[in-house]
Amino acid sequence: MKKFIILFSLALFYFSCQAQNSISPQLDAELQINTQQKPKLIVGIVVDQMRYDYLTRFANKFGDGGFKRLIGEGFNCSNNHFNYVPTYTGPGHASIYTGTTPKYHGIISNNWYDKVTKKSVYCSGDPEAFSLGTKTNMGRMSPHRMVSTTLSDENKLFTQMRGKTIGISLKDRGAILPAGHTADAAYWFAGGDEGHWITSTYYMKKLPKWVEKFNTSNAIEKYLQEWNTLYDIEDYSESGPDLNDFEGGFNGKDTATFPYDLMALSPENGGYDILKTTPFGNNLVTDFAIAALDQEALGTDNYTDVLAISYSSTDYIGHNFGVNSKEIEDTYIRLDKDIERLLLVLDNHVGKGQYTIFLTADHGAVNVPSYLQSIKIPAGYVNNTMARQNLNLFLTKFYGTADIVDNVSNNQIFLNRLKLAELKLDLETVQETIVNEIITYKNVYKAFSATTMSRSEYTSGIELLLQNGFNQKRSGDVLYVHSPAVISYGRTGSTHGSGLNYDTHVPLIFFGQGIRQGNTNKRTNITDIAPTMSALLGIGFPNASTGKVLDYILR
């Protein structure tokens, strides 16, 4: 019997080996095909402060080769949202590339109060890094405060660090966070009297020669020109009147109206920094991205590279002039041409069908509340000074001191734990007492304690968004949100940060290698981008990713 079992086992082993030998060539061929079908380059495009309705509102002014080409040949997810608050630039870029929310990647705002050091910290700030390309401290940056990996990092790991990663943006955080921890480079713009593309020692010891050459050419100076509308301003019927009470404008010019003489205005508006608040800032980003494609030979070998581009001028202009301005309309008409220019270069440099693009935004923006008020839509402004005074009066009356609060920022209240211990006060009770107090304040719409955020599990509404943005180590003891279209900002220009549709609803377009042509009105979340791109590449997901793969967009 034992002899029979041994012979039977040997026979099974023999036939198994034969089967494996006969299948292996097929598997090898499939693996080779899959490798060949991978895009040579992933280009992530983030448009800072782009509401979804800009795609539809300005559609008649767009050409055929920019946004319309991406949508027509790619896949448009028209119901795409951020699934957390706050909707700011730092958290937005981190969430897009990590596939998760601030709850896990740790970038809870652009700046936040650090409970350990008792100081405000910046999302990209790094005292251990030093500037390259500038005499200022603008280069003392890195991604070290982001605690999870990005799509870019996972591609690096998969390719044994052979695939390149480069991040480019006018803003440091728009370049650094998408590029991740393992990037070859991240570059951002230093304005002032320098007008240079810079980086930090986190990435390299000195600027590459091609960057130095770009900085010393006239590629930047030429944009200090007149900014007028690209087409006849009378045809800009998709935006409000040029002269109105809801726009900021530039120092040195009496009205926020076209045209703008940027050379004349630059001395009173930060020198080269003025370019950030014009469409020419986007032109600069495109110029530099095209130079990087060429000089770094991106997308030209067998290892997938990642180019992370963030267009920031749209945000600066939105903050200054508002979402209904002629300036915003002209900016998006010109950005459409930048997208077309970039696509043509990618076609020639990498090859049609050899690269993949996703285009999205880091947040949207609210219509200027003073404008909404003028047309009888509920809106308003928060008086933070008065709110803090009211809170201090309450705390002093109820607890004998206002010192139990360390900081109020980002719609969060941070308590002084040592003071609570000294006064023998229960943390949870104090949190709930403050919640019950501030919910009575004008324009405080919702309020929750950190204890509630930690113990409850929400599945919908603003509560879910707050929970997704709540990081137990970094967030405050009390969280609150303002009423719809009520902001903490000046009376001109737009801002963002809420969990309402005007801030959460942003574009999401996939295009190129491995992408189906089509569209969907199904809800997608910003956290779905990184896992979907990871699935396309066949690489590991970012290590804290919570999004889902949008398999219906993959070919």
The answer, yes or no, to whether the previous bond of 378 is cis (omega within 30 of 0) is no
Give φ, ψ of 427 to 5 degrees.
-55, -50
- pLDDT under 70 in the chain at which residues? 1-36
Q: Are 318 and 278 in contact (CB under 8 A)?
A: no
- pLDDT tens digits, one per residue of 24-52: 444 444 434 444 589 999 999 999 999 99
H helix runs in 38-126, sequence order: 53-57, 67-73, 89-98, 102-105
What is the structure's pLDDT at 6?
42
What is the structure's pLDDT at 518?
98
* Residue with token string 């992408």: 515
Whole-angstrom Cα distance, residue 209 to residue 540? 34
* Residue with token string 């942003």: 506
Q: Are 403 and 423 in contact (CB under 8 A)?
A: no
Q: Known catalytic residue: 89?
A: yes
- pLDDT tens digits, one per residue of 101-141: 999 999 999 999 999 999 999 999 999 999 999 999 999 99
b/e per residue 327-353 (b: at least 16 CB within 10 A): bbbbbbbbbbbbbbbbbeebeebbeee
Whole-angstrom Cα distance, residue 203 to residue 201? 5
- pLDDT tens digits, one per residue of 500-550: 999 999 999 999 999 999 999 999 999 999 999 999 999 999 999 999 999
b/e per residue 363-382 (b: at least 16 CB within 10 A): bbbbbbbbbbeeeeeebbbb
Marked catalytic residue, from 87, 89, 149, 150: 89
What is the structure's pLDDT at 218?
87
Whole-angstrom Cα distance, residue 171 to residue 164? 21
Residues 6+ apart with CB under 8 A from 286: 338, 341, 342
Per-residue tokens: 29:
């061929």
Closest C-alpha to 107, from 49, 199, 51, 178:
178
